[in-house]
Each structure stands twice: as structure tokens, then as C-alpha cells.
Structure 1
Amino acid sequence: MTTAELDRARTLITSIPDYPEPGVNFRDISPLLADGAAFNAATDALIAPFVGHFDFVGGLEARGFLFAGAISAKTGAGILPIRKAGKLPKPAAAVSYTLEYGTATIEAPDVLRPGDRVLLVDDILATGGTLTAAQALVTELGAEVVGSAVVLELTDLGGRAHTGDVHTVFAD
């Protein structure tokens, strides 16, 4: 991956004002996902500090799944799908967290064993609630979170204050 490839990848993330409601500036990564070279560059940058240090990649529903699949294919790591409540037939653990507008719960399947090393990935870090809950979920399952990585961090929303250190490819 080169700086030019990453610069081009960044230009593919677009902003859609007032979606899904007035005042929200939605970041659309669909154009990035649709461009194979840009997606590959972003995925390489996402995992660069962690290569060789994780056994599983935990993808946060839903767009984190896309990056988790690509990372698994690149590295041979297993995938830990971190799902919204009610999507798994037999969740091993669940963690609830607070959102700006209520609460939510995430769950994970029973695939981790004590000592497994997990890299958590998602598309965007906003307020940090989901990523913080995913960190707690992996720890509750007895595995180790070796890092958290996102494609885009919305710095004005302060999510890093809740999640701790997060590797970001792009900041806005």
C-alpha cells in the first residue's frame, strides 16, 4: 500500500448531510468498498500495526463484517462476528451499552477460548459505545483484545475517550 493509494481511498468516503435525520452528517463508505484497490489499501492500513499478533478478527455488525472477512482472507485469522442482540442462535455472552438515544446489546458466538487474541475492527468510530462494548465482550469471553482498529474516526464525537487507544486509518 502506498500513500497515494490511501489518499485515493480517503477520497472515496463521502458525506451525506442530514441522513438519516436532520443534523447528522452520514459517512458513506460504499464507494470505498466498491473499489477493490482502495478497499485493499484501506484493509492493509487497518491491520498494519497488528499483523502476526491476533488469532481472530472481531467484526462489528454490520460493516465491520466486511473488513473482518477481508482481513481473515489476508491473514488466515478466524472471524468473530459481533452481532446485535437476537441474531445468534446460542450467544456465548452479551454486553449492553448506552447509545445517544437509548441502549443496545451485542453478542458473540462461543468460538473463543482463553488466551485467544482478538483484533476488533469496524468501519467508523463515532461515540465509541459499540466498540467499548465489544472490548468488554471479548474480555468477558476470556480472550485478549490485542487492538481495536477503524477505517474512519469522527474525532469531534469523542469516541476515543471511551474506547482507549484505537488505530485509525483516517480521521475526520
Structure 2
Amino acid sequence: MAADTESKLQQVHKHIRAFPDFPKKGIMFRDICPILKDPAALTAVIDLFEDHVRKNHLQVDLIVGLDARGFLFGPLLAQRLDVGFVLVRKKGKLPGNTVTVEYDLEYGKAEAEIQEDAVAPGQTILLIDDLLATGGTLYAACELMKKQQAEVLGCMVVIELKELNGRDKLKPHNVFSLVQY
């Protein structure tokens, strides 16, 4: 089983492209588009997430995906786990009553929101996104879950940029990442 896991991790890693100086000089952008283009690589990502969840979380009610790339992996994982999927969006993108939280970005502030009835008090959730950098967006999603009185079991990402210490911002929540740079 460990060899199979390592093989899948290698497949994911080889499908991540690096673009230096994007979107600005000094940034090394990690592109997940090749993963999405290759069915075997995408399956490997979902297999690895599913394996992690089944080994570490006995009861999951919902997968909560972050705008927008969490929407790519979250529904596939939710379907595998036979649980629902919920969206955390940028402010103004969801109809109906919403719950909002403001958070800091490197260059200013932003707001994230969830539909008021998307998560019930006491539900157990896992957050999913493509990338953990400084942790601001995932932290905001954790704060939204707190407002909804949901229990955050952990955060899952395809890529973690370790030098930016985003994991520290998310404590006490566990972070599971497939690939670290």
C-alpha cells in the first residue's frame, strides 16, 4: 500500500508546473492545471485525499470547498465519501442569506461567505483547497465554520508552500497536504 501511495504522490508531483515570476516578480507559481488535464493524475489526487479521510476521520458530514479551486477537488471527494459538498465563495457570489467573514490578504482585505443554511451546528466538516500559502483564505473558512457552529476536522490541500508558514495560522486545525515546497 505504501508503494501505491508513493507512486500516486509522484504522479501528482510531476503534474505540477512551476512558473517563475508569476503573477509578479519573485513569486514561483505552482500550476495544478496539468493535474486536471490528466485523468490518472486527478484520480491520484482524489485517491490520496480519500485514503487520508478514511484513515483519519470516522465521521465526516460535509466537504467544504474554497473558491475557486477547492471546487475542483471537493465535489469529487465528497462523492467518493458519499457526503455533501458546500461552497465558500468570495463575497457577493452566493444567493440568499449568507454568513460573511473578513480576512487579510498580502495586499489588502477580502471577504468570504457561505449560505446561512449550508452547514448546520454540530456538523463535522473538512475544508479543501488547492494551495496553502499564508493561510488567510483557509483561516477565513475556519472562522466561517466557527460562526456556523460546525466542527472543523481539518484542512486539506494539494500543495503547501511551507516557507510561508500558513499551517501556523490554522492552528489548532490539522493540515494535510499532498505536496510540499
- Please state if 1:168 is matched with 2:177: yes
Q: Which residue number corresponds to residue 65 of structure 1?
A: 71
Distance 1:21 1:87 in 2: 27
Aligned residue runs from structure 1 range 76-155, under 5 A? 76-109=82-115, 110-155=117-162
CA distance in 2, matches of 1:85, 1:101: 17
State, as a whole percentage, how many aligned pairs show the same letter. Answer: 41
Say if 1:149 and 1:167, in contact at 8 Å, map to a contact too. Answer: yes
CA contact (8 A) 1:6 1:38 kept: no
AA aligned opposite 2:75: G
SS at match of 1:2: helix
- Give runs of ≥4 in structure 1 deviating > 6 Å: none
Match of 2:36 in 1: 33
- Alignment-mate amino acid for residue 162 of structure 1: K
Q: Aligned partners of 2:22, 2:179: CA distance in 1, in Å?
A: 21
- In 2, distance between residues paired with 1:105 and 1:43? 28
Structure 2: runs of 5 or more not aligned: none
How far has the Cα of 1:2 moved from its partner? Answer: 3.3
- TM-score scaled to structure 2, two decimals? 0.90
Whole-angstrom distance in 2 between the partners of 1:135 and 1:48: 23
Paired AA for residue 21 in structure 1: K
Where does structure 1 lack aligned partners over 5 or more consecutive residues? none
Q: What is the alpha-carbon distance in structure 2 between the residues aligned to residue 47 and residue 59 of structure 1?
A: 15
Report the alpha carbon displacement of residue 44 of structure 1 after superposing the two structures with TM: 2.0
Contact 1:91 1:107 in 2 (8 A): no
8 Å contact kept, 1:50–1:147: no
| TM-score normalized by the length of structure 1 | 0.95
Residue 46 of structure 1: how far off its partner (Å): 2.3
**How many residues are aligned here?**
172
Root mean square deviation, CA, Å: 1.3
